[in-house]
Chains A and B, each alone.
Chain A
Amino acid sequence: MRTLLRNHIGRAVLSLVLVMIVGVLFNAEGTFFRWDTHRDMLRQVSVYGILAAASTIVIVTGGIDLSVGSLLGLSAVLFSLFSIHWGWGPVQSIAATLLIGVVCGMISGGVIGRFKIQPFIATLAMMVFARGVAKLVSGGQKISSAVQTADGSYSYVSVPEIFDSIGTRIWNDNIAVVTLLMIAVLFAAWIFLSQTVAGRELYAIGGNEEAAKYSGVSIPKNILLAYSISGLFCAVAGIAQAAQEMQGDPEAGASYELSAIAMVVIGGTSLRGGIGGIHLTILGILIIGYLEKILSINAVGEETRLMLTGIIILAAVVFQKKGH
């Protein structure tokens, strides 16, 4: 088991090194060697990384959460609505948004654990539903500092300070606050999955649900917990997204679930459940993040980017598969 795990890490690290070599070769007149480039890459992957942490927790149980992108959008809208339009303080706005994220996750987890609905279907329903709620509460428009009055004209309010505090960089401009948020979420997820009893039980469920059940693991309770944590992380990602955009976009996060799942799988966590973890997801986040950054600094055309990304995802996964 231990050697197998080491193998997984080894393979993911090797994939990352290969991507980095591409960066060194195509460094766009030395752009790749500057710290800004790496700092910006880390900012750019932050919300995806938070969603990937959420997905990892669900995927080790053998499930999948398709609603992460929609929950991000809903949270971004609600956080902006509470704090910009309703004038709530930062603490209330954040707390309410996180709470709603957890509740959405609990609904998915409850349905999956209690009624034995397939995670794919249950979270697909949540994905569509949450997007609908986001569009409803925002009226289909971005929630920004432009407030529509009754007669259809717009008045302008200022965006609360909390947006800037999360959207900015600290430590001498060297790291984005959202990157630190991602690191904190990844750390919390790692502690939960690898150091707590509940975390180990999620692996047990993903490895063999029947066996876990007979050894006394409560399936519904643990599944509920996994999806609730996923919902919580999505809300964190939504707040981070809104803070960076200075607005809540009801379309935010569309198709982000695919990137999050890709990061988890490229790291080497198995979609069948039971195998993998946050340490692998971190490598997956860096692989995708660097890949996108290298294509971007070289101003590679969209068509080529899509094809290259597809090929590299496939190659990385095939490469991972060899470890089994």
Chain B
Amino acid sequence: MNYRLLSIILMTIIIVASVFPQAPAYTIGMSQCNLGEPWRVQMNADIKKAAEAHPEIRMVFKDAQNDNLRQSAHIDEFVRSGVNLIIVSPKEAAPMTKPISDAYRKGIPVIVLDRRVVGNDYTCFIGADNKKIGKAAGKWIAKLLGGKGKIVELKGLMTSTPGQDRNSGFREGIKGSSCEILFDADMKWLEPNARKEMESALSRFTQIDLVYAHNDPGAHGAYLAAKAAGREHTIKFVGIDGLPQEGQMYVKQGILSASFEYPTGGREAIETALQILNGKKVSREITLPSKVFTKENIDKGGEALPE
């Protein structure tokens, strides 16, 4: 190695060291199962925003691109690089249980976000309850329709737990009223599919009172279909997720009657992480409260759902 190369390396180290005057005390690894969904992009953004308020934390983000094996490799990498804490939003419970358990048994605190793992080898689980949200949506809708009406349900992926829970919770919520599900279809969380299915519902049924979609893009797709048919004023639209740039915006624009928030838990994850790192005890299970956004309450930041 010649002296020039050596001096360049030394200079680089000095410059890098001076840019970061104080090394952060804690490194937190965040493993996201995929960044293809806006909701998960929002989760990372919430974590980043919360972490920026604490200079003692350095965040490392990894995106598993919907691949269990890649995500478990990411957890191993975090362990080997010696992070102080791991936040993980697992793709699936069974394949992710072992890598998470291994990390936890090596003494690294693990916060599991949104989707569960099997067993008890983690420090804390943070998540919202889709079934509860679906049920709240059902009750809210039954009330909005005055106890009776014809509903189109545009389901998320019915092979996924959120899709199943938002479906079964909703059906529980409208039970006892005279609301009737006229037409239901699986739109796989995708707006173009929702529009396509809604077009079929519109050409088949002359009276539709409300569309309940398992996510806000689905409700928006249904709205676009109804608008093209000139029927958007006779139909109400309700969605789930309540992201600021989607559901909340649609409510503000009067497109959706309501959007039910499915909180990302990003802020809560960082708060909990700090407590753990500072040696405080945290509860093993944190269920995130949800909100409903309507035209009346949107400017006040939504309204909390009753427990």
- A141-B41, A144-B245, A152-B45 as given contacts; A28 in contact with B204, CB under 8 Å: yes
- A140-B41, A142-B246 as given contacts; A29 in contact with B224, CB under 8 Å: no
Q: Once bound together, how far apart are the Cα atoms of A153 and B252, in whole Å? A: 14
B196 contacts A292, CB within 8 Å? yes
A142 contacts B204, CB within 8 Å? no
Give B82 Cβ to nearest chain A Cβ, in Å: 28
B69 contacts partner chain A, Cβ-Cβ < 8 Å = no
Give B232 Cβ to nearest chain A Cβ, in Å: 13
Within 8 Å by CB of A37, from B45, B195, B203, B248, lies B203
B185 contacts A156, CB within 8 Å? no
A297 contacts partner chain B, Cβ-Cβ < 8 Å = yes
A249 contacts B244, CB within 8 Å? no
Q: Once bound together, how far apart are the Cα atoms of A168 and B230, in whole Å? A: 11
A245 contacts B191, CB within 8 Å? yes
The chain A residue sitting closest to B196, CB to CB, is A44
Q: Once bound together, how far apart are the Cα atoms of A285 and B197, in whole Å? A: 18
B38 contacts A142, CB within 8 Å? yes
Give B41 Cβ to nearest chain A Cβ, in Å: 4
Contacting residues of chain B (195-240) with chain A, CB-CB under 8 angstroms:
195-197, 199-200, 202-204, 221, 224, 228-230
A251 contacts partner chain B, Cβ-Cβ < 8 Å = yes
Q: Chain A contacts of B192 at CB under 8 A? A: 241, 244-245, 252
A29 contacts B196, CB within 8 Å? no
- A153-B244, A292-B196 as given contacts; A31 in contact with B203, CB under 8 Å: yes
B203 contacts A34, CB within 8 Å? yes
Q: Chain A contacts of B184 at CB under 8 A? A: 299
Contacting residues of chain B (224-276) with chain A, CB-CB under 8 angstroms:
224, 228-230, 244-246, 248-249, 252-253
Give A14 Cβ to nearest chain B Cβ, in Å: 26
Write out, one digit per residue, whether chain B residues 172-207 have a CB within 8 A of any chain A CB (1) or not (0): 000000000001111010011001110110111000
Give B126 Cβ to nearest chain A Cβ, in Å: 21
- A28-B204, A37-B203, A142-B246 as given contacts; A296 in contact with B196, CB under 8 Å: yes
Q: Once bound together, how far apart are the Cα atoms of A142 and B196, in whole Å? A: 20
Q: Once bound together, how far apart are the Cα atoms of A246 and B228, in whole Å? A: 13
A180 contacts partner chain B, Cβ-Cβ < 8 Å = no
Q: Once bound together, how far apart are the Cα atoms of A43 and B188, in whole Å? A: 20
- A141-B38, A301-B186 as given contacts; A146 in contact with B245, CB under 8 Å: yes
Q: Chain B contacts of A296 at CB under 8 A? A: 185, 196-197, 199-200
- A141-B245, A145-B249, A146-B249 as given contacts; A297 in contact with B200, CB under 8 Å: yes
A11 contacts partner chain B, Cβ-Cβ < 8 Å = no
The chain A residue sitting closest to B36, CB to CB, is A251
B59 contacts partner chain A, Cβ-Cβ < 8 Å = no
A44 contacts B245, CB within 8 Å? no
The chain A residue sitting closest to B192, CB to CB, is A245
B158 contacts partner chain A, Cβ-Cβ < 8 Å = yes
B35 contacts partner chain A, Cβ-Cβ < 8 Å = yes
By size class, the interface of chain B is: 20 to 34
Give B275 Cβ to nearest chain A Cβ, in Å: 24
Q: Report which residue of B183, B192, B253 has the largest number of chain A beta carbons within 10 angstroms of its beta carbon.
A: B192
Q: Chain A contacts of B284 at CB under 8 A? A: none
Give B159 Cβ to nearest chain A Cβ, in Å: 8
Q: Chain B contacts of A156 at CB under 8 A? A: 249, 252-253
Q: Once bound together, how far apart are the Cα atoms of A251 and B193, in whole Å? A: 13
Q: Once bound together, how far apart are the Cα atoms of A43 and B228, in whole Å? A: 11
Give A10 Cβ to nearest chain B Cβ, in Å: 30
Q: Chain A contacts of B204 at CB under 8 A? A: 28-29, 31, 297
B49 contacts partner chain A, Cβ-Cβ < 8 Å = yes
Give B299 Cβ to nearest chain A Cβ, in Å: 13
A200 contacts partner chain B, Cβ-Cβ < 8 Å = no
A interface residue numbers (CB < 8 A to B): 28-29, 31, 34, 36-37, 40, 43-44, 135, 139-142, 144-146, 148, 152-154, 156, 167-169, 173, 176, 241, 244-246, 249, 251-252, 292-293, 296-297, 299, 301-302
B interface residue numbers (CB < 8 A to A): 35-36, 38, 41, 45, 49, 158, 183-186, 188, 191-192, 195-197, 199-200, 202-204, 221, 224, 228-230, 244-246, 248-249, 252-253
Closest 7 CB pairs of A and B: A146-B245, A302-B186, A296-B200, A40-B199, A140-B41, A31-B204, A297-B200
Name 29 interchain pairs, CB-CB below 8 A, sorted by A. A28-B200, A31-B203, A36-B199, A36-B202, A40-B199, A40-B203, A43-B199, A140-B35, A140-B38, A141-B41, A144-B245, A145-B249, A146-B245, A152-B45, A153-B244, A154-B244, A156-B252, A156-B253, A167-B224, A173-B230, A245-B191, A245-B221, A251-B36, A252-B192, A292-B196, A297-B200, A297-B203, A299-B183, A299-B184
